[in-house]
């Protein structure tokens, strides 16, 4: 809508037109809901998020939320799905482009930590902090996500063990990937517990050198 020029004479006051809320495109409202939920999770030390608070943030009714998601658990599943898609898309790119196992391992580790650092709300989901009082299946799914990450890390870990002449490269890779995954989870957990003050990527290069060995 074009506003009238400041100096233009107006003979009669125009009747104020009621504000018309633009109808979102199909699927757009779901994205807005998930973005709002992630935004609320970025508040350090925030209490458990209720659908009432989420609806108020979006200026919607709770009934409107449930037209797009059957439950709050389904909303959190939407966030976990976003995390999974983001991490594994990037992970596959790293694996395809990086042949050196040490560099592949380091880049996979850095990618997970950098993703959490840039997305504090998602970091709370990844660390499990945001899922404590939610449906148990959410924690199970997030744990499965880290199991997949650990599985990806075993590949470069095994290659490194073979390069170093290990008698049991598979066993060595399992231990190496397990320890690395614990570092990822521990860094994300600390990030959340310190109100996003202690960055997951703190001393990243030195940490990766220790882990690569």
Confidence of residue 46 (pLDDT cuts 50, 70, 90): low
Task: Considering only residues 89 and 47, tell me which one the structure prediction assigns the higher pLDDT.
Answer: 89
Query: Mean pLDDT across the stretch 119-148?
Result: 96
What confidence tier does 26 reach under pLDDT thresholds 50, 70, 90?
Answer: low
Concatenated DSSP letters for 39-63? HHHTSTT--PPPHHHHHHHHT--HH
For residue 46, tell me if it sits in a domain: no
Give the alpha-carbon dihedral of 150, 152, 153, 155, to 10 degrees.
Answer: 130
The model's pTM is 0.85
CA distances from residue 30 to 88, 89, 134 in whole angstroms, order as listed: 22, 22, 20
110-123 pLDDT, tens digit each: 999 999 999 999 99
* pLDDT, tens digit (0-9, with 9 covering 90-100), for 158-181: 999 999 999 999 999 999 999 999
Alpha carbon distance 83, 22 (integer Å): 29
Q: Is residue 195 part of a domain?
A: yes
Residues with Cβ < 8 Å from 78, sequence gap 6 or more?
Answer: 30, 33, 34, 69
Kindly state whether residue 55 falls inside one of the protein's structural domains: no
12 inside domain: no
Domain-located, residue 91: yes
Host domain of residue 171: 73-212
What is the rounded average pLDDT of the residues 21-38?
A: 82
CA distances 128 to 14, 67, 77, 140, 213, Å, are 55, 27, 13, 10, 29
Q: How far apart are CA 196 and CA 16, in angstroms?
A: 46
Q: What is the reported pLDDT for 43?
A: 86
Residue 35 scores a pLDDT above 60: yes
User: Does a structural domain hold residue 37?
Assistant: no
Q: Does residue 81 register a pLDDT over 50?
A: yes
Number of domains in the chain: 1
According to DSSP, residue 11 is labeled S
As a whole number, the mean pLDDT across the chain is 90
CATH of the domain at 187: 1.10.357.10
pLDDT score at 164: 96
Place of tokens 């809901």: 33
Say whether pLDDT at 183 is over 50: yes
């Amino acid at each position: 809508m074009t506003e009238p020029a400041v100096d233009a004479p107006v003979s009669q006051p125009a009747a104020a037109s009621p504000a018309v809320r633009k109808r979102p495109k199909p699927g757009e409202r779901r994205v807005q809901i998930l973005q709002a939920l992630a935004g609320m999770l970025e508040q350090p030390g925030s209490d458990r998020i209720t659908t009432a608070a989420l609806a108020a943030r979006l200026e919607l009714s709770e009934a409107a939320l449930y037209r797009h998601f059957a439950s709050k658990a389904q909303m959190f599943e939407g966030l976990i799905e976003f995390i999974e898609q983001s991490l594994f898309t990037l992970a596959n790119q790293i694996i395809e482009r990086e042949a050196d196992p040490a560099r592949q391992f380091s880049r996979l580790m850095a990618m997970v930590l950098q993703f959490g650092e840039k997305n504090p709300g998602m970091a709370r989901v990844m660390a499990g902090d945001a899922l404590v009082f939610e449906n148990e299946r959410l924690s199970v799914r997030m744990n499965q996500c880290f199991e997949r990450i650990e599985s990806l890390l075993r590949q470069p870990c095994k290659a490194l063990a073979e390069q170093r002449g290990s008698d049991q490269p598979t066993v060595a890779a399992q231990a190496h990937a397990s320890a690395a995954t614990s570092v990822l989870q521990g860094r994300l957990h600390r990030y959340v517990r310190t109100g996003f003050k202690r960055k997951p990527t703190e001393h990243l290069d030195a940490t990766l050198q220790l882990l690569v060995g």
